[in-house]
Amino acid sequence: AQSVTQPDIHITVSEGASLELRCNYSYGATPYLFWYVQSPGQGLQLLLKYFSGDTLVQGIKGFEAEFKRSQSSFNLRKPSVHWSDAAEYFCAVGEVGYSTLTFGKGTMLLVSP
Amino acid sequence: DGGITQSPKYLFRKEGQNVTLSCEQNLNHDAMYWYRQDPGQGLRLIYYSQIVNDFQKGDIAEGYSVSREKKESFPLTVTSAQKNPTAFYLCASSRTGGITDTQYFGPGTRLTVL
Protein backbone atom coordinates (compact mmCIF):
# COMPACT_ATOMS: atom_id res chain seq x y z
CA ALA A 1 0.00 0.00 0.00
CA GLN A 2 1.15 3.48 -0.77
CA SER A 3 1.68 6.04 1.98
CA VAL A 4 3.08 9.54 2.26
CA THR A 5 4.77 11.22 5.21
CA GLN A 6 5.34 14.93 5.59
CA PRO A 7 7.39 15.12 8.78
CA ASP A 8 6.96 18.85 9.38
CA ILE A 9 3.53 20.11 10.42
CA HIS A 10 4.63 23.76 10.44
CA ILE A 11 7.66 25.54 9.04
CA THR A 12 8.51 29.21 9.42
CA VAL A 13 10.86 30.82 6.91
CA SER A 14 12.02 34.40 6.63
CA GLU A 15 11.07 36.19 3.45
CA GLY A 16 13.90 35.87 0.96
CA ALA A 17 15.32 32.75 2.58
CA SER A 18 15.41 29.35 0.93
CA LEU A 19 12.80 26.68 1.58
CA GLU A 20 12.78 22.91 1.64
CA LEU A 21 9.66 20.91 2.49
CA ARG A 22 10.14 17.22 3.08
CA CYS A 23 8.12 14.35 1.68
CA ASN A 24 8.79 10.64 2.13
CA TYR A 25 6.76 7.87 0.58
CA SER A 26 6.40 4.13 0.55
CA TYR A 27 5.35 2.32 -2.58
CA GLY A 28 5.33 -1.07 -4.21
CA ALA A 29 6.35 -0.12 -7.74
CA THR A 30 6.98 3.05 -9.69
CA PRO A 31 5.68 6.07 -7.82
CA TYR A 32 4.00 9.03 -9.38
CA LEU A 33 4.66 12.05 -7.17
CA PHE A 34 2.89 15.37 -6.86
CA TRP A 35 3.10 18.58 -4.86
CA TYR A 36 -0.03 20.70 -4.37
CA VAL A 37 -0.47 24.04 -2.61
CA GLN A 38 -3.56 25.26 -0.78
CA SER A 39 -4.19 28.88 0.17
CA PRO A 40 -6.42 29.40 3.23
CA GLY A 41 -10.02 28.40 2.59
CA GLN A 42 -9.31 27.47 -1.00
CA GLY A 43 -8.90 24.38 -3.13
CA LEU A 44 -5.59 22.83 -4.08
CA GLN A 45 -3.41 23.81 -7.03
CA LEU A 46 -0.80 21.58 -8.62
CA LEU A 47 2.78 22.89 -8.28
CA LEU A 48 4.62 20.08 -10.03
CA LYS A 49 4.64 16.36 -10.68
CA TYR A 50 7.16 13.59 -11.37
CA PHE A 51 6.59 10.40 -13.31
CA SER A 52 9.94 9.46 -14.82
CA GLY A 53 13.07 10.88 -16.41
CA ASP A 54 15.02 13.79 -14.97
CA THR A 55 14.81 13.56 -11.21
CA LEU A 56 14.80 17.35 -10.77
CA VAL A 57 11.40 18.72 -11.69
CA GLN A 58 10.52 22.34 -12.23
CA GLY A 59 7.11 23.66 -11.35
CA ILE A 60 5.12 26.84 -11.21
CA LYS A 61 5.84 29.84 -8.97
CA GLY A 62 9.58 29.09 -8.92
CA PHE A 63 9.29 25.75 -7.10
CA GLU A 64 11.27 22.62 -7.86
CA ALA A 65 11.41 19.14 -6.41
CA GLU A 66 13.95 16.35 -6.53
CA PHE A 67 13.10 12.66 -6.62
CA LYS A 68 15.58 10.52 -4.71
CA ARG A 69 14.75 6.86 -5.04
CA SER A 70 17.42 5.75 -2.57
CA GLN A 71 15.89 7.93 0.13
CA SER A 72 12.24 7.49 -0.93
CA SER A 73 11.94 11.24 -0.92
CA PHE A 74 10.48 13.97 -3.08
CA ASN A 75 11.38 17.23 -1.35
CA LEU A 76 10.05 20.58 -2.52
CA ARG A 77 12.42 23.54 -2.73
CA LYS A 78 12.40 27.22 -3.52
CA PRO A 79 15.54 29.40 -3.47
CA SER A 80 13.86 32.58 -2.21
CA VAL A 81 10.50 32.61 -0.44
CA HIS A 82 7.97 35.40 -0.93
CA TRP A 83 5.26 36.35 1.57
CA SER A 84 2.66 35.13 -0.93
CA ASP A 85 4.06 31.59 -0.60
CA ALA A 86 2.50 31.26 2.85
CA ALA A 87 0.08 28.37 2.45
CA GLU A 88 -0.30 24.68 3.16
CA TYR A 89 1.63 22.26 0.97
CA PHE A 90 0.62 18.69 0.25
CA CYS A 91 2.68 15.88 -1.18
CA ALA A 92 0.76 13.09 -2.93
CA VAL A 93 1.69 9.74 -4.40
CA GLY A 94 0.06 7.57 -7.03
CA GLU A 95 1.08 4.16 -8.20
CA VAL A 96 0.46 1.80 -11.10
CA GLY A 97 -2.38 -0.48 -10.13
CA TYR A 98 -4.15 2.15 -8.07
CA SER A 99 -6.74 4.58 -9.38
CA THR A 100 -6.36 7.26 -6.75
CA LEU A 101 -3.78 9.42 -5.02
CA THR A 102 -2.71 9.24 -1.41
CA PHE A 103 -2.08 12.64 0.15
CA GLY A 104 0.22 13.51 3.02
CA LYS A 105 -1.10 15.42 5.99
CA GLY A 106 0.38 18.68 4.80
CA THR A 107 2.99 21.20 5.89
CA MET A 108 1.90 24.71 6.80
CA LEU A 109 4.41 27.32 5.63
CA LEU A 110 4.58 30.59 7.52
CA VAL A 111 6.66 33.43 6.09
CA SER A 112 8.08 35.99 8.50
CA PRO A 113 9.07 39.50 7.44
CA ASP B 1 -13.81 30.34 -17.80
CA GLY B 2 -13.40 26.62 -17.29
CA GLY B 3 -13.30 25.27 -13.79
CA ILE B 4 -14.99 23.58 -10.89
CA THR B 5 -17.68 25.19 -8.80
CA GLN B 6 -18.83 24.05 -5.41
CA SER B 7 -21.83 25.37 -3.61
CA PRO B 8 -22.57 26.53 -1.08
CA LYS B 9 -19.30 27.85 0.33
CA TYR B 10 -20.60 27.50 3.90
CA LEU B 11 -23.28 25.08 5.03
CA PHE B 12 -24.85 24.55 8.41
CA ARG B 13 -26.80 21.47 9.30
CA LYS B 14 -28.64 20.23 12.33
CA GLU B 15 -27.82 16.81 13.65
CA GLY B 16 -29.92 14.09 12.05
CA GLN B 17 -30.38 15.92 8.76
CA ASN B 18 -29.07 14.87 5.39
CA VAL B 19 -27.39 17.55 3.31
CA THR B 20 -26.21 17.62 -0.31
CA LEU B 21 -23.09 19.40 -1.50
CA SER B 22 -22.95 20.46 -5.11
CA CYS B 23 -19.99 20.05 -7.47
CA GLU B 24 -20.08 21.08 -11.12
CA GLN B 25 -17.29 21.15 -13.70
CA ASN B 26 -17.17 22.52 -17.22
CA LEU B 27 -13.75 21.09 -18.07
CA ASN B 28 -15.24 18.12 -19.92
CA HIS B 29 -13.40 15.82 -17.53
CA ASP B 30 -14.42 12.19 -17.19
CA ALA B 31 -13.33 11.68 -13.59
CA MET B 32 -14.53 13.42 -10.44
CA TYR B 33 -13.59 13.04 -6.79
CA TRP B 34 -14.77 14.01 -3.33
CA TYR B 35 -12.31 14.57 -0.50
CA ARG B 36 -12.76 15.42 3.12
CA GLN B 37 -10.21 17.66 4.84
CA ASP B 38 -9.80 17.93 8.60
CA PRO B 39 -7.09 19.97 10.34
CA GLY B 40 -3.85 18.00 10.48
CA GLN B 41 -5.34 15.08 8.56
CA GLY B 42 -4.65 16.01 4.96
CA LEU B 43 -7.12 14.95 2.30
CA ARG B 44 -9.02 11.72 2.54
CA LEU B 45 -10.92 10.30 -0.40
CA ILE B 46 -14.65 9.74 0.07
CA TYR B 47 -15.87 8.68 -3.38
CA TYR B 48 -14.68 8.92 -6.95
CA SER B 49 -16.19 8.40 -10.37
CA GLN B 50 -14.34 7.74 -13.59
CA ILE B 51 -17.37 7.66 -15.84
CA VAL B 52 -21.02 8.64 -15.82
CA ASN B 53 -23.31 6.28 -13.89
CA ASP B 54 -20.41 4.62 -12.13
CA PHE B 55 -18.55 5.43 -8.90
CA GLN B 56 -16.36 3.75 -6.31
CA LYS B 57 -15.91 4.10 -2.59
CA GLY B 58 -12.81 5.76 -1.30
CA ASP B 59 -11.17 5.37 2.09
CA ILE B 60 -13.94 6.96 4.17
CA ALA B 61 -17.23 6.36 2.31
CA GLU B 62 -19.33 5.40 5.33
CA GLY B 63 -22.12 7.91 5.96
CA TYR B 64 -21.84 9.45 2.48
CA SER B 65 -23.53 8.84 -0.85
CA VAL B 66 -22.99 10.15 -4.37
CA SER B 67 -24.52 10.05 -7.82
CA ARG B 68 -23.10 10.66 -11.27
CA GLU B 69 -26.00 11.08 -13.64
CA LYS B 70 -24.30 13.75 -15.74
CA LYS B 71 -20.68 14.13 -16.75
CA GLU B 72 -20.42 17.62 -15.33
CA SER B 73 -22.05 16.98 -11.96
CA PHE B 74 -21.07 14.87 -8.93
CA PRO B 75 -23.16 15.76 -5.87
CA LEU B 76 -22.24 14.43 -2.43
CA THR B 77 -24.87 13.70 0.22
CA VAL B 78 -23.78 13.67 3.82
CA THR B 79 -26.26 11.48 5.63
CA SER B 80 -27.24 11.36 9.25
CA ALA B 81 -25.20 8.16 9.50
CA GLN B 82 -21.98 10.18 9.26
CA LYS B 83 -20.93 10.51 12.88
CA ASN B 84 -18.69 13.53 12.59
CA PRO B 85 -19.56 15.44 9.43
CA THR B 86 -18.12 18.84 10.33
CA ALA B 87 -15.26 19.33 7.88
CA PHE B 88 -14.06 21.05 4.73
CA TYR B 89 -15.16 19.18 1.59
CA LEU B 90 -13.25 19.42 -1.66
CA CYS B 91 -14.37 18.29 -5.08
CA ALA B 92 -11.88 17.62 -7.86
CA SER B 93 -11.86 16.44 -11.44
CA SER B 94 -9.34 15.02 -13.88
CA ARG B 95 -9.36 14.42 -17.59
CA THR B 96 -9.54 10.63 -17.69
CA GLY B 97 -9.04 9.45 -14.11
CA GLY B 98 -5.63 8.06 -14.92
CA ILE B 99 -3.13 8.11 -12.11
CA THR B 100 -0.89 10.56 -13.98
CA ASP B 101 -3.69 13.05 -14.65
CA THR B 102 -3.63 16.36 -12.84
CA GLN B 103 -6.53 16.77 -10.45
CA TYR B 104 -8.19 20.19 -10.51
CA PHE B 105 -9.88 21.27 -7.32
CA GLY B 106 -12.89 23.39 -6.53
CA PRO B 107 -12.85 26.04 -3.79
CA GLY B 108 -14.50 23.76 -1.24
CA THR B 109 -17.55 23.72 1.01
CA ARG B 110 -17.24 24.09 4.76
CA LEU B 111 -19.91 22.04 6.51
CA THR B 112 -20.72 22.67 10.15
CA VAL B 113 -23.11 20.52 12.12
CA LEU B 114 -24.89 22.41 14.87
Q: Can you give the pLDDT at residue B70?
A: 97
* Closest residue to B43, CB basis, from A49, A90, A98: A90
More confident call, B47 vs A40: B47
Nearest to A106 by CA among A17, A13, A23: A23
Distance CA A100, CA A21 (A): 23
Distance from CA of A89 to the nearest CA of B (A): 10
More confident call, A30 vs B84: B84
Which letter, b or e, does each residue of A24-37 get, where b requires 16 or more Cβ atoms within 10 Å of its Cβ? bbebeeebbbbbbb
Average pLDDT, stretch B80-91?
93
Over 90: is that where the pLDDT of A32 sits? yes
Over 80: is that where the pLDDT of A47 sits? yes
Distance from CA of B24 to the nearest CA of A (A): 14
